[in-house]
Structure 1
Amino acid sequence: MKIINQPRETLVNSLSTVSSDTVAQTKVERSGDALKNDTFSQTAKHVTPPVYERPITIGVSKEVEQTIKSASVMTGEAIAELYLGGSMFKSADSMSKEYDKTLSDIATERPELTENEWGFSVNEQGELKVTGNISAEDITYLEGKLNSNKALVNLANEVKANFLQYTQMERDDNGGTSKLWGKYDVTSENFADIIDFKALMDGPRETQQTTLALGRQLTGHGFIQNIAEQLGQNATVRYS
């Protein structure tokens, strides 16, 4: 699976749109809170205070207010987990270390395969499947090496699970639509046809100094850009 660079809506512009929506929701919440705390009062001494002094909420019911607050929190969670170095990126970064170990073994045993174009992803059964213009024998060998690293397999499945979970949350919090990754039709069944993990692992890396200082290997920007390009190239927009 090969990434092809082409003009497309940038993640930054999309995040700006979402950010505006979140700000609008926050204004509604603050407005609701302000009105909720507004209690009628009378300071004139000769007037008897009204008997009914319970705070009056005007504008939205408590049910609607809670829905707005919940949606705001959940959308924020999806954004953090997908685009701001959350669970998916952390799993992918840990995965890169296991990938390096396995690729080193492959380079020792079958060095020619490190020069060939091939990729791998997670299929519906949670196994790592190899694709590329290589022989069936080479595919069998590579799949055996990759799947023998259980940590690599588990982390790849974590990346997939996080992607599916939080893009669904993104849609759920926006009436079934999304301007970001949630707009694409990516499922457990077709994930392997869309996201190539080798491309992610071979993507931009931090400097050795940064890796030693922070413990991470993948760059956040490179990781996000890589996934965005793969989605734009291989996935179908369905929930925009």
Structure 2
Amino acid sequence: MKVNTAAIPIVNTLTADSKARLVNDVESNKPLPIADVYHKENDQQPPSTYRRPVIVGKAQTLIEEPEQTSARLNEAYSQLYFNGDMFKAADKLADQYNQFMHELASDAPQLAEKDWGFSVNESGAIAVSGQLSEDEVSYLEEKLNANKTLVQFANEVKDSFLKFTELERGPSKNATSQYWGKYDVNEKNFSDLVDMRSLMEEQKSFEQSNYSIGENLNLFGFIDNMGAQLSAKAQATYAE
């Protein structure tokens, strides 16, 4: 699927009809023209990386041909901002999360109502955060990590995010990005920056069913939530 980079920052400004057309294009692997999904003035041009090769050093060493840059960015954008591996894993994670919360509401209803979050730490385990007691954190982490399927999908979300944001930045040592790839998120700090429970709360509603991708999550809300978390907590080390 060919992805138009100009559509990425404004996915959540689309009307219901535009979202429905975008979903149809995504599901049918059609190219996404700017005119269909993006209407801001003065922002109609894709990033300049589509028009120039990646070069470094005084000798202007060629790192990528323009066609390679275009293919790389297309893959990264489609994986991160549309119905790619990360969102598909998140949607499956949401199914496990919903089951977990249903059980928690029955077994520990007060804890289910508290403000807490979870993510994946450096070792691949679920780590819980929030204003909780040590016993409450231990209880939740034990329950969450006991669900191997939930842990698997949570790790797939993390791995896909890290893989494709690195791909978005490119091969140069001085690589940069305009979008999520500009943030310094890695294996060590991912759990401090991305709250997966917050992402899991972006459930699709009945009204959204005609233009929602996935079984559980609202793709557009998911993207908006992730972007807001990164903007609030992560350092834009690789910004253009």
Q: Same fold (TM over 0.5)?
A: yes
Aligned to 1:120, the other structure's residue is in SS state strand
Correspondence for 1:24 among 34, 47, 51: 51
Provide the residue aligned with 2:118 in structure 1: 120
Q: Displacement of 1:224 after TM fit?
A: 0.5
Task: Rate the CA distance shift 1:66–1:189 in 2: closer, same or farther, 3 A.
Answer: closer
Provide the residue aligned with 1:166 in structure 2: 164
Taking the TM superposition and a 5 Å limit, the aligned residue runs for 1:88-167 are: 88-167=86-165
Report the Cα distance in structure 1 between the residues aligned to 2:208 and 2:9, rounded to whole angstroms: 28
Please list every run of 5 or more consecutive structure 2 residues that lacks an aligned counterpart in the other structure. Answer: 1-7, 12-37, 54-60
Provide the residue aligned with 2:197 in structure 1: 198
**CA-to-partner distance for each residue in 1:123-143, whole Å, 9 max, x for gaps?**
000000001111110111101
Please list every run of 5 or more consecutive structure 1 residues that lacks an aligned counterpart in the other structure. Answer: 1-9, 29-62
Report the Cα distance in structure 2 between the residues aligned to 1:214 and 1:11, rounded to whole angstroms: 18
**Which residue identity does 1:185 align to in structure 2?**
D
Provide the TM-score with structure 2 as the length reference.
0.73
Aligned to 1:121, the other structure's residue is in SS state strand
Taking the TM superposition and a 5 Å limit, the aligned residue runs for 1:16-95 are: 19-21=46-48, 24=51, 67-95=65-93
Provide the TM-score with structure 1 as the length reference.
0.73
Provide the residue aligned with 1:181 in structure 2: 180
**CA-to-partner distance for each residue in 1:49-93, whole Å, 9 max, x for gaps?**
xxxxxxxxxxxxxx9697221111011000000011211111101
**What count of residue pairs does the alignment treat as equivalent?**
193
